[in-house]
Every structure is written in C-alpha cells, then in structure tokens.
Structure 1
Amino acid sequence: MNILVVDDNKAVQERLAALIISQGHNVDLAINGLDALGKAQQGNYQLFVIDHLMPLMNGVQLTKNLKADESSSLVPVIFMTTQGKRTLKDIAEYSLFDKVIDKPINEADFITLLSEVIKAYPANSATEVLEANK
C-alpha cells in the first residue's frame, strides 16, 4: 500500500514512516498541505495520514481538497490532532476523516488504526474503486 504522511514536524514524519515501513507499506512524506496536494496529484496513494495544524494549508482544508478531487475522493484519511478527538468532533468537517488519532502518537495505537483502515479499505487504489463502480 502507498501511504502519504503529511506533517510539518520532521521527527513525527520519520517516526510514522518507520512504523508504516515496518508494516510492509510504502511511504512518501509531505511537509504541509500544499506539498501534499502536489504529491497526491502525481502519486497513487491508498491512504493519507494528515496532521491537523500545519502552515500554508491546515489538515482540514487539505482533506476537503483531496475529497473534492475525483482521483483521491475515496482514499481514506487518518487525521492526527493535538486538539483532542472530542474537540475535533465539533467541527462540520469531522465526517471527512475515516479515523482520528490524538497526538502525540502512541505507536501501538497507530499500528492498530493502520490495520483497521487497511482492512476496511482493501482496494488497491481509489481509481480501482471508481472503475469497479462504473
């Protein structure tokens, strides 16, 4: 599975990349929402792991843009936040996220969440899902 991790903290990026690779998946990194949009348009990702608060484009706006694009609209999103899941549930866009995890990330919780998302979305790519639904 190809996974794009979007976080403005290099240490968090590297930690998540190591966890994802340890589970047998490929990972690309983006430093902010604008960087992620460019990579998403050029890449074939089956999962996005997106931080909430970032410069230039926050995670909510990035997710809205990804969901508005046909090529990435069906790709699941794990959303990371320091604001707390309960606080985040109050925003209108909460339904855009497939899973939400609190930061700092607990490695065991992240691996469990990653496995849950992969089982729930077994298609190789959003493109395959779109083709299957035609």
Structure 2
Amino acid sequence: MPNKILIVDDSPSIRQMVEATLASGGYDVASAEDGQEALEKCQTNQYDFVLTDQNMPRMDGLSLIRALRQMDNYKRTPIVVLTTEASDEMKMQGRAAGATGWMVKPFDPSKLLVISAKVLNS
C-alpha cells in the first residue's frame, strides 16, 4: 500500500506541481489549501507524511505543526516545511515547533522525491 502524503499550500499551482511529483513517485497524495483544512483532514485521516507551506491564510505552517504534534497519532509523523522562507530564525522556529525538515521554494522535483523517501523510511 503506498504511503499517504498530505500537501498543504495555499497556491493551487504549487499543490498541483507537488502532487504530480509525489504521485510520480508512487505515493497516495491528498491536499489542503491551508493549515486549518489540513488539521481537519488529519483529525479524520492518517497520513504518513505532511508537507506544508509556512505562509497561508487561516492557519500558517508552524501553527499546523504545533497542532499536529499535540495529536497522539501525529507525534512522530514526518512533517517538512516547503516555503519561500529561508532565514535561519524561521528554520529554528520550525524545529522548535516540531518540523522534521525544511525545503525552500522553488523546489527540485527529484530532491523532493529523495527527501520524501528518506523521511518515510527513517
């Protein structure tokens, strides 16, 4: 059974590109347009990996990560932030919130597949 991945990004074009990339790697992909929608999906579904943007309406990526880490079934789930934010301070905040990793947009599809395989197999 393929790993289930949730993509969270307010940009439809980014969601489509990430979804196409991960689907080409054989993953079962779902998406949400912001952290609030993602949190709602995670309350009724179990994902093996969450890939989230930082800057989104309603709920940003770090708030989503903090909320997911409070849920028993997401305490150890890999969560990677895919964002335009590249500052060390923001990355430190991500780690403090519980992020597994950090990728800066624009992303390299082959690198995304490598990182996805790495976090799902660790």
Normalized against structure 1, the TM-score is what?
0.83
The residue matched to 1:18 in structure 2 has which SS?
helix
| Equivalent position amino acid for 1:63 in 2 | I
Structure 1: runs of 5 or more not aligned:
121-134
Structure 2: runs of 5 or more not aligned:
none
| Equivalent position amino acid for 2:104 in 1 | D
In 1, distance between residues paired with 2:61 and 2:110?
23
CA contact (8 A) 2:78 2:120 kept: no
Q: How does 1:103-122 map to 2 (within 5 A)?
A: 103-120=105-122
Question: Structure 2 residue aligned with 1:76, among 60, 73, 78?
Answer: 78
C-alpha distance after superposition, 1:82-101 (max 9, x if no partner): 1115342342x424111110
Tell me whether 71-80 or 35-44 shows the greater mean CA deviation. 71-80
| Equivalent position amino acid for 1:75 in 2 | T
Q: What is the Cα deviation at residue 78 of structure 1?
A: 1.1
| Equivalent position amino acid for 1:69 in 2 | M
- Give the CA RMSD over aligned residues: 1.3
Q: What is the Cα deviation at residue 73 of structure 1?
A: 1.6
CA contact (8 A) 1:85 1:101 kept: no
Q: How does 1:1-134 map to 2 (within 5 A)?
A: 1-84=3-86, 86-91=88-93, 93-95=94-96, 96-120=98-122
Computing the radius of gyration over CA atoms, which structure comes out larger, 1 or 2?
1
In 1, distance between residues paired with 2:20 and 2:86?
24
Q: What is the Cα deviation at residue 116 of structure 1?
A: 1.1
| Equivalent position amino acid for 2:50 in 1 | F
Normalized against structure 2, the TM-score is what?
0.91
Q: Which residue of 2 aligns with 1:128?
A: none
In 2, distance between residues paired with 1:23 and 1:70?
28
How many matched pairs?
119
Q: % of aligned pairs identical?
A: 25
Q: What is the Cα deviation at residue 112 of structure 1?
A: 1.4
In 2, distance between residues paired with 1:10 and 1:89?
24
